[in-house]
Amino acid sequence: MIKLINTDGSRAKNLLPKVLGAAALSVALSTAFMGTASAQDLADVEVNSYHVQGNVWVLTGAGGHVTVQIGDQGVLVVDTQFAETAPKIVEEIERLAPGKTIRYVINTHAHGDHTGGNAIVRSAGETIVAGNEAGDVGATFEPGAEVIAHENVMLSMATANPPLPFEAWPTEVYIGNKYDFYFNGEPVELLYQGRAHTNGDSIIFFRKSDVIAAGDIYVTEGFPFIDQNNFGHINGIIDGLNQIISITVPLEQQEGGTMVISSHGRLSDEADVVEYRDMLTIIRDRVQYLIDEGMSLEEVLEVGPARDYSNRYGNGFISTDDFITAVYNNLSE
């Protein structure tokens, strides 16, 4: 059974509407989001935490939800929101795990609403480094928790304009389809998604806790953002959702069991991901069909291949037309 506990006993505010615009604008890896929500707005955001199951908690605030795994070995943090909210993230972690050290930070992708707090969160922690690596590591970065991500996250952040502080970059990157390690009594798997939301997405599977942090592959708030500037692709997002469905196991009657943390939206299980996957697959298939019929983008938009889903999903950060345009462009490559 899912235990969903607001740790301070209060009802959480719905913080997403006010800051979602800011969070999403930051995908350009700049501070341009300040035009929509000021630094003060972000600093005023309330951070709340909820127990998902096993060792895993989710923290809300501004930007993408933060996933936190807590155990005897310390704390692992997935995504760090913004620099303005990161101190509150650290504060909440210290409240949840008094006396424990943040050992690892993982970035699901490079966008600023998921990495903006990297420097602050990692500086609050420390990864144990010794043996052959010690000299190399010590010479290359300041002490703090290791920040792990796919190599393309590093490439995006290292080439961002305006430049991002070196302290915010990942300190450990991987290539290939998977990176894993054992921490707090369970395997932690980073599963690379190829060209999906960006070209650097990982979903994070906490195997014993039976929780997946899906990053921005799965966004219950609306249509997904296909970041074409960072090589995003609708097929990669659908493939990612299918991978999540292949991992998840419902407790009974297609409910409960493996839990999935949507970066922007509610806690979910397999059936919720199936609904979202079905929706994206159907719309993708329709756009492909209309392209095959020889229609231009304008003609496809006129048909409205997502018009049965736009009431539900088209009022978020990504409009229906922007989503269909991205899908059309992807499928026309």
Partner 1 sequence: MNKFTIKAFAASFLFPLLTAPFLAQASVEGYWQPIYHEDFEERLPGPEAGDYAGLPINDAMRLRGDTWQSGLLNVPEHQCKPHPSTYGFRGIGNLHFQEILDPESQELIALTTHIEWQAQRRTIYMDGREHPNELYPHTWGGFSTGHFEGDTLVVHTTHLKAGWIRRNGMALSDEATLDEYFMLNDDQTLMTHVSIVTDPNYLTEPFIRTNGWSRLHEVNMGPYPCRPAIEIDREVGEIPHWMIDTEQSHAGSIEFSERWNIPLEAARGGAHTALPEFMDTVAE
Quick check: 20 binds partner 1 (CB under 8 A)?
no
Closer residue to partner 1, CB minimum distance, 103 or 264: 264
Interface with partner 1 by CB under 8 A: which range of 105-113, 126-134, 157-165, 267-275?
A: 267-275
Looking from the CA of 23 toward its CB, the CA atoms found within 13 Å total 29
Is residue 178 close enough to count as binding partner 1 by CB under 8 A?
no
User: Which has the closest alpha carbon to 217: 50, 235, 209, 207?
Assistant: 235
Q: Applying CB under 8 A, does 252 fall inside the site for partner 1?
A: yes
β-pairing verdict for 202-206 and 186-192: antiparallel
Cβ neighbours of 236 (radius 10 Å) = 21
140 binds partner 1 (CB under 8 A): no
Judged by DSSP in three states, 51 sits in strand
* Minimum CB distance to partner 1 smaller for 161 or for 246: 246
Question: Does the protein bind partner 1 through residue 286 (CB under 8 A)?
Answer: yes
- d(Cα 183, Cα 187) in Å, to the nearest integer? 6
Task: Please give the size of the binding site for partner 1, defined by CB under 8 A.
Answer: 46
Stretch in the footprint of partner 1 (CB under 8 A) among 106-114, 141-149, 209-217, 246-254: 246-254
The answer to whether residue 8 forms part of the interface with partner 1 (CB under 8 A) is no
Rule CB under 8 A: is residue 233 a binding residue for partner 1? no
250 scored as a contact of partner 1 (CB under 8 A): yes
C-alpha atoms less than 13 angstroms from C-alpha of 42 in its C-beta half-sphere: 27
7 interacts with partner 1 by CB under 8 A: no
Site for partner 1 in 296-325 (CB under 8 A): 303, 305, 307-312
Alpha helices in 172-269 (DSSP H): 234-247
* Residue 95 touches partner 1, criterion: CB under 8 A: no
Closest listed residue to residue 106, CA positions, set 136, 140, 66: 66
Q: Which range, of 92-100, 141-149, 183-191, 266-274, touches partner 1 by CB under 8 A?
A: 266-274
- Sequence-separated (6 or more) residues with CB below 8 Å from residue 234: 226, 280, 284, 326, 327, 330, 331
Are 232 and 333 a contacting pair, CB within 8 Å? no
List residues binding partner 1 (CB under 8 A): 2, 4, 6, 11-12, 14, 16, 50, 58, 60, 220, 238-239, 242, 245-246, 250, 252-255, 259, 266-272, 274-275, 277-278, 281-282, 285-286, 289, 303, 305, 307-312
